[in-house]
């Protein structure tokens, strides 16, 4: 090669382009040189020789090769990163990796032809502009923050971006690392919603306890007064209406208690297909809306509180009916699903891995706007003219108390789907036939009642005497109740049944009182009564030694039935 270049320089009389030549040194080392040759001419312009120059470029070439290999390695890392990585100069994208394209749904060509701000959610563009302006002015601005982007499909993704100032081809630029945090945001919102429900639940539970004590006296006295009036008379009708109003108030406090700690479900193995059908059909009776059911073959059973789950389905079906005032069809689908840990987290579901029954209730109404969608599970939030705003909040709490979850998807103008997840049981449910018996009672029993509210004690006294029980004694709190019980046993006239209020402010409540009574008499028959259960005593009363339970407020019929079941 060197010889050819020399001959060409002589023949043409012109300087030759640089060439790379490998030399072998005396010690055998191979070196790379950049070789230049120019013709040497006399006064007449004749070539009389060659002037050559060689520059050793071995080290610089090695560095160049190493840099090229390093660049390829970094490019491989960047292109296969799980984060979206891009470089922006004056707000315009000049480099994007493949993940940026996957996350946004736009091709690399489309991304590199538009300002980055155009891909951001309209409500978040001001935040991004402010951050960019602060950085360009050298101000202290957060390098990590979150916002929303709108993908080509129209889906909204929450992203977290880390911004690093760099120089790109001589101009100030930003190197950006962007991660999709949509699922993480969903989980955070669920945790915030649960925390809000728990705080409201504490307040609701306290209110419900006091309110139910008042309602017990109101409802009991109304029931007694109504029984003393002539059916069909104006007074009788007025008392009936007052009683119905009291029962509606009772239902309201029951909903308050459902998302307080007192709403613990009383679970039993249940087949869901009949529960879903019966509840939906009953909720839609007399309406212009019908239901279509679709259940998986061999639908799993579940350990549920049938009354509470029926309440959830009823709430969802009634909401769906209201969304279609002109009539239509509600689809109720129940299917078996198994969630792995990755699937649960990947779907933004606050659920443990395992087997679940997923129930979908879908309407084809007007849908729910985005501004309301994040608030529909909040207590007391409602867009209806009539409504307490407790239906969906209660339903959400019931699902959570069952170890499940309630979520929603809605497209404005197309309809809404609520998804109820309930943990499944692999046990087979065997329907049992209930034997119904008429109410029987005997007034021959000694009863001890413990309650701290004077109004409640007075109305219980009148109710019990109307039922036929005349031998009654009263205690304001647990210590007095234990003393009365012990004295009755020693006198040979023991009590047949004890009705204990669960919560006694400043005194011994029903749970501790029963423990003391069991030490005296292991065969004691006790009925727990409360308008609020701070623990699961009311939900699982037998576990604590009680033989029966009656929730405040109650009617004379409910009191009679509770006593009949334990006395016989």
Q: End-to-end alpha-carbon separation of the chain, Å? A: 117
**Out of 348-357, 370-379, 420-429, 515-524, which region has the weakest mean confidence (pLDDT)?**
370-379
Confidence of residue 248 (pLDDT cuts 50, 70, 90): confident
Note whether 365 and 394 are same-domain residues.
yes
Those residues whose C-beta lies under 8 Å from the C-beta of residue 299, and which sit 6 or more positions away, are: 271, 272, 273, 334, 335, 336, 357
> How many other C-beta atoms lie within 10 A of the C-beta of residue 379?
22
pTM of the model: 0.50
pLDDT-based confidence at 475, cuts 50/70/90?
Answer: very high
On whether residue 262 sits in a domain, the answer given is: no
**Does 386 lie in the same domain as 285?**
yes
Among candidate residues 410, 420, 416, 407, the one with its CA nearest the CA of residue 324: 416
Looking at the predicted structure, is the pLDDT value of residue 357 above 90?
Answer: yes
On whether both 470 and 332 belong to a single domain, the answer is no
Which band of pLDDT confidence, cut at 50, 70 and 90, is reported for residue 437?
A: very low
Residues 395, 524 within the same domain: no
Contacts of 52 (CB under 8 A, 6+ apart): 6, 35, 36, 37, 38
Structure tokens at 75: 């490019």
454 and 414, same domain (yes or no): no
DSSP for 316-350 reads HHHHHHHT-TT-EEEEEEEEEEEE-HHHHHHTT--
CATH assignment of the domain containing 57: 3.30.450.20
Write down which residue in 155, 180, 205 finishes a domain.
Answer: 180
Q: Are 288 and 385 within one domain?
A: yes
Three-state SS annotation for 40-95: EECCCCCEEEEEEEEEECHHHHHHHHHHHHHHHHHHHHHHCCCCEEEEEECCEEEE
Find the farthest-apart pair of alpha carbons in the chain and give their distance in angstroms, rounded.
150
Do 273 and 403 lie in one domain? The reply is: yes
pLDDT at 69: 66
Whether residue 260 is contained in a domain is answered as no
pLDDT tops 90 at residue 244: no
**259 falls within a domain:** no
Q: Are residues 485 and 351 in the same domain?
A: no
Does residue 221 carry a pLDDT above 50?
Answer: yes
Q: Which of 301, 302, 299 is nearest to 265 (CA)?
A: 302
Q: Is residue 429 part of a domain?
A: no
Residue 370 lies in a domain: yes
Identify the pLDDT of residue 5.
59
Give the position of tokens 């084809």. Answer: 364
Mean pLDDT check: name the lowest of 60-74, 132-146, 292-306, 323-337. Answer: 60-74
- Three-state DSSP class for 122? helix
Instruction: Report the pLDDT averaged over residues 473-498.
Output: 94
Alpha-carbon torsion angle 286, 292, 298, 299, nearest 10: -70
The pLDDT tens digits for 107-162 are: 988 888 788 899 999 999 999 888 888 888 878 888 889 999 998 888 888 999 99
Which residue spans within 439-496 are E strands per DSSP?
446-450, 471-475
Q: Among 212-221, 300-309, 381-390, 497-506, where is mean pLDDT lowest?
A: 381-390
How confident is the model at residue 143, as a pLDDT?
85
Distance set, CA 244 to CA 75, 221, 286, 466, 554 (Å): 74, 13, 22, 21, 12
Note whether residue 235 is domain-resident: no
Q: Give the model's confidence band at 2: pLDDT under 50 very low, under 70 low, under 90 confident, else very high.
A: low
If one counts the domains in the chain, the total is 4
- Please indicate, yes or no, whether residues 52 and 107 belong to a single structural domain of this protein: no
pLDDT at 436: 37
- Please say which residue of 39, 64, 89 terminates a domain: 64
Assigned token pair, 182: 């949509």
The answer to whether residues 359 and 482 belong to one domain is: no
Half-sphere exposure of 508 (CA within 13 A, CB side): 16
Of 25-29, 68-72, 73-77, 360-364, where does mean pLDDT reach its minimum? 68-72
Q: Domain range for residue 126?
A: 81-180
227-238: per-residue pLDDT in tens? 888 888 888 888
CATH number of residue 466's parent domain: 3.40.50.2300
Do 322 and 274 fall within a single domain? Answer: yes
Instruction: CATH number of the domain at 367, please.
Output: 3.30.565.10
Tell me, yes or no, whether 185 lies in a domain.
no
Residues in the chain: 568
HEC profile for 125-183?
HHHHHHHHHHHHCCCCCCCEEEEEEECCCCCEEEEEEEEEEEEECCEEEEEEEEEECHH
Of 180, 212, 231, which residue sits at a domain end?
180
Give domain status of residue 186, yes or no: no
What pLDDT does 346 receive?
A: 46
The CA distances from residue 288 to 282, 293, 316, 384, in Å, are 13, 17, 16, 19
The closest alpha carbon to 376, from 196, 554, 114, 138, belongs to 196
| 3-state SS assignment for residue 462 | helix
How far apart, in Å, are the Cα atoms of 242 and each of 178, 246, 472, 485? Answer: 62, 6, 28, 37
Q: Does 354 lie in the same domain as 316?
A: yes
């Amino acid at each position: 090669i060197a010889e050819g270049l020399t001959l060409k320089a002589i023949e043409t009389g012109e300087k030759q382009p640089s060439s790379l030549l490998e030399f072998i040194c005396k010690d055998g080392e191979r070196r790379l040189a950049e070789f230049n040759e120019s013709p040497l001419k006399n006064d007449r312009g004749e070539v009389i020789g060659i002037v050559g120059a060689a520059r050793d470029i071995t080290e610089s070439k090695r560095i160049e090769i190493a840099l090229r290999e390093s660049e390829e390695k970094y490019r491989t890392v960047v292109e296969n990163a799980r984060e979206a990585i891009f470089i922006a100069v004056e707000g315009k994208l000049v480099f994007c990796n493949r993940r940026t394209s996957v996350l946004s749904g736009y091709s690399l060509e489309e991304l590199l032809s538009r300002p980055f701000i155009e891909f951001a959610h309209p409500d978040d563009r001001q935040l991004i502009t402010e951050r960019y302006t602060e950085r360009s002015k050298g101000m202290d601005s957060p390098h990590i923050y979150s916002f929303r982007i709108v993908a080509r499909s129209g889906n909204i993704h929450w992203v977290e971006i880390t911004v690093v100032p760099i120089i790109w081809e001589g101009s100030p630029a930003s190197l950006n690392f962007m991660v999709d945090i949509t699922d993480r945001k969903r989980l955070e919102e669920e945790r915030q919603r649960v925390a809000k429900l728990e705080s409201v639940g504490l307040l609701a539970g306290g209110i419900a306890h006091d309110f139910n004590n008042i309602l017990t006296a109101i409802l009991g006295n109304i029931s007694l007064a109504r029984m003393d009036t002539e059916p069909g008379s104006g007074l009788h009708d007025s008392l009936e209406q007052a009683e119905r109003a009291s029962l509606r108030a009772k239902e309201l406090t029951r909903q308050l208690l459902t998302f307080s700690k007192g709403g613990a479900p009383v679970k039993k193995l249940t087949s869901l297909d009949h529960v879903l059908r019966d509840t939906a059909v009953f909720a839609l009776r007399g309406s212009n809306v019908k239901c279509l059911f679709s259940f998986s073959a061999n639908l799993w059973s579940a350990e549920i509180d049938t009354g509470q789950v029926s309440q959830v389905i009823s709430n969802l079906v009634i909401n769906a009916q209201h969304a279609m005032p002109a009539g239509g069809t509600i689809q109720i689908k129940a299917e078996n699903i198994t969630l792995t840990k990755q699937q649960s987290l990947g779907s933004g579901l606050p659920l443990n891995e395992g087997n679940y029954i997923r129930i979908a209730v879908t309407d084809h109404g007007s849908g729910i706007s985005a501004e309301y969608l994040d608030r529909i599970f909040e207590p007391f939030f409602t867009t209806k003219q009539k409504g307490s705003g407790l239906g969906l909040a209660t339903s959400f709490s019931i699902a959570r108390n069952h170890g499940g979850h309630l979520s929603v998807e809605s497209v404005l103008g197309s309809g809404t789907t609520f998804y109820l997840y309930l943990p499944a049981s692999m046990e087979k449910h065997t329907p049992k036939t209930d034997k119904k018996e008429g109410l029987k009672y005997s007034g021959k029993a000694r009863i001890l009642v413990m309650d701290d509210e004077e109004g409640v004690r007075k109305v219980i006294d009148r109710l019990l005497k109307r039922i036929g029980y005349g031998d009654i004694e009263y205690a304001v709190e647990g210590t007095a109740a234990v003393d009365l019980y012990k004295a009755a046993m020693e006198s040979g006239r023991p009590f047949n049944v004890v009705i204990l209020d669960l919560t006694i402010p400043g005194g011994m409540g029903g749970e501790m009182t029963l423990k003391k009574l069991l030490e005296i008499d292991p065969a004691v028959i006790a009925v727990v009564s409360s308008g609020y259960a701070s623990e699961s005593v009311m939900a699982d009363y037998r576990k604590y030694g009680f033989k029966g339970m009656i929730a405040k407020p109650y009617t004379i019929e409910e009191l009679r039935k509770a006593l009949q079941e334990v006395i016989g």
